[in-house]
A and B are shown apart, each in its own frame.
Chain A
Amino acid sequence: MTTHVSDNIIEARGLTKRFYGFTAVDGVDLDVKRHSIHALIGPNGAGKTTCFNLITKVLQPSDGAIRFNGVDITAESPARVARRGIVRSFQISAIFPRMTVAENVRIALQRPVGTSFHFWRPERSLKVLDERVDELLETVGLLSLRDRSAADLPYGRKRVLEFATTLALEPELLLLDEPTSGLGSEDVERIADLIRSVSKGRTILMVEHNLSVVSRLADRITVLARGKILAEGPYSEVSTDSRVVEAYIGGEE
């Protein structure tokens, strides 16, 4: 089997992270195919969030290398990686609470404009972005709340807002850390639909505990346990793997 390099948007080799002697991620080789939805699952503490932190360079790997579109990004800063087109969401919703809903989205749209260092320009100069802001809020169904303070939103809406902010950057690769955690079933449906609808022309790598969401969305699944890859493949294959079942039953509850 030969895979062409350009098929994979992310290629991680031997990815390892040690915290004071404890190995959270242990020699992980991860390939994410371009324009696919790839799910990363595993019991609590398996190292999924740590993997995300390594790919987005929030953490520096103790060992191993990461390539994005064939470029080695192992030594780059988190902001640089984000500018390359890898944008993540956080396990616990990450919004700017004391900014309005519209401002939350606008702050993401503002960066590509290139005036972010312009401390002499009035805020009015950002008005040109309003149209795009409203478009994005419309897509996720938050338009009617655009001028509310983000802190006032119920949790489900905060997650949606975070998603809209992430989308605003038109990322090539989206990393979603448990996008549906803490949501009611209605909101879960909404987010799942959103993920599917934005996945066209993009690559999505997601950590998700809700297996029905995973089974519906993911093209490929990697199962992580104790920092190591346990199994990899399409849902039908992985879900019947006895080691996976064991790890889940042994690991959860």
Chain B
Amino acid sequence: MMTLLGISPQLLFGQLLIGLINGVFYAMMSLGVAIIFGMLRIGNFVHGAQYMLGAFGAWYLLNLPDLFPSLGLPSLNYWWALVLVPFGVALIGALMERLFIRKVYELEHAYGLLLTVGLAMLIEGLFNVRYGAAGQQYNIPEALKGGVNLGFMFMPYYRLWVIVAGILVCVATWYAIERTRLGAYLRAATENPDLVRAFGINVPRMLMLTYAFGVGLAGLAGVMAAPIYQVSPQMGHSIIITIFAVVVIGGMGSISGAIYTGLMLGVIEGLTKVFWPQASTTVIFVIMVLVLIFRPAGLFGRETVAAHAADMSTARPDSILENGRLWMAILAIGGTIVPFFIYPVFGMKILCLALFACAYNLIFGYVGLLAFGHAAFYGSSAYVAAFTAASWGFPTELAILSGVAMATLLGAIFGWLAIRRQGLYFAMITLALAQLVYFYAIQASWTHGEDGIQSVPRGYVFGVINLNDPMAMYFFVLAVFLIGFGVIYRIVHSPFGQVLKSIRENEPRAISLGYSTDRFKLIAFTLSAMLAGLAGGTKAIVFQIASLADLYFQTSADALLMTLIGGVGTLLGPIVGAIIVVTIQTELATLGSWVIVVQGAAFVVCVLFLRKGVVGTLEDWLSARVERKRIAAGGGAPVVERSSH
């Protein structure tokens, strides 16, 4: 039999088939994400969880008699699931839209993403609590068992069915949106809701139905995926980041583009498995990088506006809570006393994560860019510091500096790539780039895969201070933290910081004054990565380990959550947030997956009810008190003289 480059046709076509199947799921999923993004301007991170719900829905229906033995329900097979589950999932989607997502349409896009991240953690966490990491088996329906021999390969009927049905669904969706009256209304509604409202159309209901439809597609994909992949709580999480990368590659504003891109990337992934198996998990992310470099708008996209800053900060410049010198002193004194009352290890964990959150706040709070991949900087620095300390015997301070250098380099590269696209794309790109680093760390040999780099020596600082003494270690970390805190304060309150502020407040105006705002954003992003690296490198020395968890998505989400709970763009918010989050994580550590559920709930609560965070709320309260006092003292209302209208 003929072979191609020493590869058997069985292998080639087999992988091609798997690639095509994956591609169908990518297409169906990214279609839903693209519709929701295009029409509602929501980066639907919970799409993966909704896909998982579809698969579990099918599994539930099949196992009805076992699940509710007392009710005497029949077992509903695959075909029932194919009809019922998408509707069920769509209904859940409609409910989510009504209860949560609707609340953030008028807010900055970042909140929509944060909200759906929280919902995803909540749902996936709950399923994890119930079913654990293990997958459930779902058998291929009777009618589609077996297959046909095509001569060059064996084609299972079920896979053929998935490919044909998936593509048909995609085409039908494309037709409905691009070629029907309803679709025309939909497109018009997103561009000019007032106009469509004037036609007597209920726009809120239309948006709800659109969301439900996109989610229903994910549910359908979940049902179709159940017999192929394991039905597990994690199945959605691993796919959603890939889907975001697919959407970035496809570009904005093209429904058919999402379909082509999904199919194509699935096939490319399959081919990569044949010719270069190690690269198959990363190939989509690498393609994303190439597309960003050579065709920033995406393969089918039109717009290429650079990432725009959004002001989400809640600080008041003249507040006592923003007084850097004062708080530097308080933190130094407090930090010195604290280890005599709490475990130094607990204190060090808080300090490392607080520094990480402060670094993140620099880009999210002070520049207004929703970065979503800071784990890459934190984790890569941890790995490099651990490796140079453990394998090359670097002195501690040099090991940490090596880590910082790595994080800075990555930060410059990621920033340069991500700033080419605006708004939510910025978040998606940083997320996908961080995932690339994560996959790299799984495969590279020097990172030791699942084990990570362990037994990192704490060593000596400057050759004299022995860090194996817990107190010495603690005070070293405190010093690192204070230096980082001081550096951030200086950056924010420098001529450079003034320009950052103007960019956040009104970017077009800053440009019209002659500032190349992209360059400022890039430098700020790189500085933020550098400081995140300082936190990560220090952490690796403290805990004597660098592991995959440091690079995982969850670590990026932690940074966000700490900043959000504490108060975005405030001096102290990230520190307060770190204390809260680390305390929660430590208290709930024995409860396993509940930690994720609680964190997800915290995201949702913060976005819906506590957008100003603890510190922002406190500042509001303080300034309201000052105002009351002023009025009581006869100061009058704080209005400047009226204009002459």
Which residues of chain A are within 8 angstroms of B515 by Cβ–Cβ distance? 79, 111, 116
Question: Which residues of chain A in 129-166 are interfacial with respect to chain B, using CB atoms and an 8 Å cutoff?
Answer: 145, 148, 152-157, 165
Bound-complex Cα distance A107 to B527 (A) = 22
Which residues of chain B are within 8 angstroms of A122 by Cβ–Cβ distance? 490, 493-494
Bound-complex Cα distance A194 to B465 (A) = 66
- With A99-B505, A126-B498, A184-B645 in contact, do A120 and B512 touch (Cβ < 8 Å)? no
Which residues of chain A are within 8 angstroms of B502 by Cβ–Cβ distance? 96, 99, 107
B296 CB to closest chain A CB, in angstroms?
A: 14
Bound-complex Cα distance A116 to B523 (A) = 12
Contact of A153 among B311, B490, B640, B645 (CB under 8 A): B640
Bound-complex Cα distance A96 to B517 (A) = 15
By the criterion CB–CB under 8 Å, are A88 and B512 in contact?
A: yes
Which residues of chain B are within 8 angstroms of A165 by Cβ–Cβ distance? 513
> Is A11 in contact with chain B by the CB < 8 A criterion?
no
By the criterion CB–CB under 8 Å, are A96 and B514 in contact?
A: no
Which residues of chain A are within 8 angstroms of B104 by Cβ–Cβ distance? none
> Is B157 in contact with chain A by the CB < 8 A criterion?
no
By the criterion CB–CB under 8 Å, are A169 and B514 in contact?
A: yes
By the criterion CB–CB under 8 Å, are B506 and A96 in contact?
A: yes
Quick one: closest A residue to B491, CB to CB? A119
> Is A236 in contact with chain B by the CB < 8 A criterion?
no
Contact with A along B461-503 (1 / 0, CB 8 A): 0000000000000000000000000000011011111110110
> Is A118 in contact with chain B by the CB < 8 A criterion?
yes
A98 CB to closest chain B CB, in angstroms?
A: 6
- With A82-B512, A118-B495, A121-B495 in contact, do A184 and B643 touch (Cβ < 8 Å)? yes
Bound-complex Cα distance A157 to B640 (A) = 10
Give chain A's interface residue range (CB within 8 Å of chain B).
35 or more
- With A96-B506, A97-B505, A98-B505 in contact, do A120 and B490 touch (Cβ < 8 Å)? yes
By the criterion CB–CB under 8 Å, are A116 and B496 in contact?
A: yes
> Is B332 in contact with chain A by the CB < 8 A criterion?
no
Which residues of chain B are within 8 angstroms of A58 by Cβ–Cβ distance? 508, 511-512
A199 CB to closest chain B CB, in angstroms?
A: 20
By the criterion CB–CB under 8 Å, are B495 and A95 in contact?
A: no
Bound-complex Cα distance A113 to B513 (A) = 13
Quick one: closest B residue to A104, CB to CB? B502
> Is B516 in contact with chain A by the CB < 8 A criterion?
yes
Question: Which residues of chain B in 509-541 are interfacial with respect to chain A, using CB atoms and an 8 Å cutoff?
Answer: 509-517, 519-520, 523, 527
> Is B181 in contact with chain A by the CB < 8 A criterion?
no
By the criterion CB–CB under 8 Å, are A80 and B523 in contact?
A: no
By the criterion CB–CB under 8 Å, are B643 and A79 in contact?
A: no
> Is B644 in contact with chain A by the CB < 8 A criterion?
yes
> Is A123 in contact with chain B by the CB < 8 A criterion?
yes
A23 CB to closest chain B CB, in angstroms?
A: 17
- With A111-B513, A116-B499 in contact, do A184 and B644 touch (Cβ < 8 Å)? yes
> Is A203 in contact with chain B by the CB < 8 A criterion?
no
By the criterion CB–CB under 8 Å, are A94 and B643 in contact?
A: no
> Is B130 in contact with chain A by the CB < 8 A criterion?
no
Bound-complex Cα distance A95 to B513 (A) = 11
Which residues of chain B are within 8 angstroms of A111 by Cβ–Cβ distance? 513-515
Bound-complex Cα distance A244 to B513 (A) = 34
Contact with A along B626-645 (1 / 0, CB 8 A): 00000000000011111111
Interface residue count on the B side (C-beta < 8 Å): 37
By the criterion CB–CB under 8 Å, are B494 and A107 in contact?
A: no
By the criterion CB–CB under 8 Å, are B644 and A125 in contact?
A: no
By the criterion CB–CB under 8 Å, are A154 and B642 in contact?
A: yes
- With A157-B640, A157-B643 in contact, do A119 and B494 touch (Cβ < 8 Å)? yes
Which residues of chain A are within 8 angstroms of B505 by Cβ–Cβ distance? 96-99
By the criterion CB–CB under 8 Å, are B513 and A82 in contact?
A: yes
Which residues of chain B are within 8 angstroms of A82 by Cβ–Cβ distance? 511-514
Contact of A121 among B494, B523, B527, B638 (CB under 8 A): B494
> Is A252 in contact with chain B by the CB < 8 A criterion?
no
- With A123-B493, A187-B644 in contact, do A79 and B499 touch (Cβ < 8 Å)? no
Bound-complex Cα distance A175 to B509 (A) = 13
Bound-complex Cα distance A137 to B481 (A) = 41
Contact of B516 among A80, A103, A156, A187 (CB under 8 A): A80
**Interface-centre pick from A79, A121, A183 (highest chain B CB count, 10 A):** A79
Question: Which residues of chain B in 591-645 are interfacial with respect to chain A, using CB atoms and an 8 Å cutoff?
Answer: 638-645
Which residues of chain A are within 8 angstroms of B494 by Cβ–Cβ distance? 118-123
Contact of A185 among B517, B642, B644 (CB under 8 A): B644
- With A77-B516, A152-B638, A154-B640 in contact, do A99 and B495 touch (Cβ < 8 Å)? no
By the criterion CB–CB under 8 Å, are B490 and A78 in contact?
A: no
**Interface-centre pick from A106, A119, A125 (highest chain B CB count, 10 A):** A119
By the criterion CB–CB under 8 Å, are A145 and B640 in contact?
A: yes
Bound-complex Cα distance A165 to B285 (A) = 44
Contact of B497 among A87, A123, A186 (CB under 8 A): A123
Question: Which residues of chain B in 348-379 are interfacial with respect to chain A, using CB atoms and an 8 Å cutoff?
Answer: none
Bound-complex Cα distance A87 to B490 (A) = 30
Quick one: closest A residue to B490, CB to CB? A120
Bound-complex Cα distance A103 to B511 (A) = 16
> Is A108 in contact with chain B by the CB < 8 A criterion?
yes
- With A122-B490, A123-B493 in contact, do A90 and B643 touch (Cβ < 8 Å)? no
A229 CB to closest chain B CB, in angstroms?
A: 25
- With A119-B527, A154-B642 in contact, do A79 and B495 touch (Cβ < 8 Å)? no
By the criterion CB–CB under 8 Å, are B643 and A107 in contact?
A: no
By the criterion CB–CB under 8 Å, are A56 and B496 in contact?
A: no
Bound-complex Cα distance A98 to B516 (A) = 21
- With A87-B513, A96-B505 in contact, do A115 and B642 touch (Cβ < 8 Å)? no
By the criterion CB–CB under 8 Å, are A94 and B644 in contact?
A: no
A164 CB to closest chain B CB, in angstroms?
A: 12
- With A95-B509, A111-B513 in contact, do A119 and B643 touch (Cβ < 8 Å)? no
- With A107-B513, A116-B496, A126-B495 in contact, do A99 and B501 touch (Cβ < 8 Å)? yes
Which residues of chain B are within 8 angstroms of A95 by Cβ–Cβ distance? 506, 509
Quick one: closest A residue to B642, CB to CB? A154
> Is A196 in contact with chain B by the CB < 8 A criterion?
no
- With A80-B516, A121-B495, A123-B498 in contact, do A186 and B511 touch (Cβ < 8 Å)? no
> Is A22 in contact with chain B by the CB < 8 A criterion?
no
> Is A18 in contact with chain B by the CB < 8 A criterion?
no
Which residues of chain B are within 8 angstroms of A118 by Cβ–Cβ distance? 494-496
> Is A83 in contact with chain B by the CB < 8 A criterion?
yes
Which residues of chain B are within 8 angstroms of A155 by Cβ–Cβ distance? 643
Which 5 pairs between the two chains have the least Cβ-Cβ distance? A82-B514, A154-B643, A119-B496, A186-B644, A156-B643
Chain A interface residues (CB < 8 Å from chain B): 56, 58, 77-80, 82-83, 87-88, 90, 94-99, 103, 106-108, 110-111, 113, 115-123, 125-126, 145, 148, 152-157, 165, 169, 183-187
18 inter-chain pairs at a CB distance below 8 angstroms, sorted by A residue, are A78-B511, A79-B511, A82-B511, A107-B498, A107-B502, A111-B514, A115-B495, A118-B494, A118-B495, A119-B490, A119-B497, A119-B523, A120-B490, A122-B490, A122-B494, A156-B644, A156-B645, A165-B513
Given contacts A152-B639, A154-B641, 20 further A-B contacts (CB under 8 A): A58-B508, A78-B512, A79-B516, A82-B513, A83-B514, A87-B514, A99-B502, A107-B502, A110-B499, A111-B514, A116-B520, A118-B494, A118-B496, A119-B497, A122-B490, A123-B495, A156-B643, A165-B513, A184-B643, A185-B644
